[in-house]
């Protein structure tokens, strides 16, 4: 890169591009809500195709996993040390309660520690009834690719 763009805008742009470039995120209509230094918030609207229990309309845990994984990756890429790419190594999700049908699920991930090659991430997902606590929480380890080795 030849110029030095404003870090906040560059970060937001990178995160939007990151999500928009991922076919599966488009398939699930995920949108970036907010991006900070090593933090990201991504929303996923309810839709009939991601339902796990047709009798209740509750979203499948797997779709929540996809949202958690995406949000975690976005948080890693928005870290101030500017990694060029990342991949999930390990992700553990605890399902606290069923998400209320027809509500958007929003996940917020924080990249709470970074080493030269690994990023540690925590994430929480809420439906629209935030007072009920998170729908799910996640912990993950992501690879960090810095492009050049020094």
Partner 1 sequence: MKTPEPIQIIKQRRDAALHALVSGVPYIKFLDITFDRRGDELTGVLHYDPKLIGNPMLPALHGGVTAAFLEVTAIVTLSWALIWDDLESGRIDGEALTPETLPRLPKTIDFSVDYLRAGLPRDAYARARVNRSGRRYSSVHVEAWQDNRDRLFAQGTGHFLMPPRGE
Q: Binding marks (x or -) toward partner 1, 88..127, rule CB under 8 A?
A: xxxxxxxx--------------------------------
CB of 99 to partner 1, least distance (A): 12
Of 38-57, which residues contact partner 1 (CB under 8 A)? 48-55
- What does the alpha-carbon distance between residue 23 and residue 26 come to, in Å, rounded to a whole number? 5
Q: Is the Cβ of residue 36 or residue 72 nearer to partner 1 in the bound state? A: 72
The gap between the terminal CA atoms of the chain, to the nearest Å, is 17
DSSP E strands, 1-150 = 31-36, 39-44, 51-53, 58-59, 85-95, 105-114, 118-126, 136-145
CB of 6 to partner 1, least distance (A): 26
Identify the bridge partners of residue 143 per DSSP, sorted by sequence position: 87, 118
Tokens of 112: 């709470």
CB of 7 to partner 1, least distance (A): 24
User: CB neighbours (10 Å) of residue 99?
Assistant: 29
Of 21-40, which residues contact partner 1 (CB under 8 A)? 21-27
In the complex, the residues that contact partner 1 under the rule CB under 8 A are 21-27, 48-55, 59-63, 65-70, 73, 85, 87-95
């Amino acid at each position: 890169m030849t110029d030095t763009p404003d870090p906040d805008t560059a970060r937001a742009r990178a995160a939007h591009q990151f999500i928009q470039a991922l076919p599966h995120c488009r398939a699930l209509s995920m949108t970036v809500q907010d991006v900070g230094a090593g933090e990201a918030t991504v929303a996923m609207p309810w839709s009939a195709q991601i339902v796990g229990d047709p009798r209740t309309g509750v979203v499948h845990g797997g779709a929540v996993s996809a949202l958690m994984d995406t949000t975690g990756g976005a948080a890693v890429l928005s870290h101030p040390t500017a990694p060029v790419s990342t991949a999930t190594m390990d992700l553990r999700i605890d399902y606290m309660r069923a998400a209320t049908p027809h509500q958007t699920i929003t996940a917020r991930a924080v990249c709470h520690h970074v080493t030269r090659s690994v990023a540690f991430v925590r994430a929480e997902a809420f439906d629209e009834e935030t007072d009920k606590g998170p729908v799910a929480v996640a912990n993950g380890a992501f690879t960090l690719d810095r492009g050049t080795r020094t």
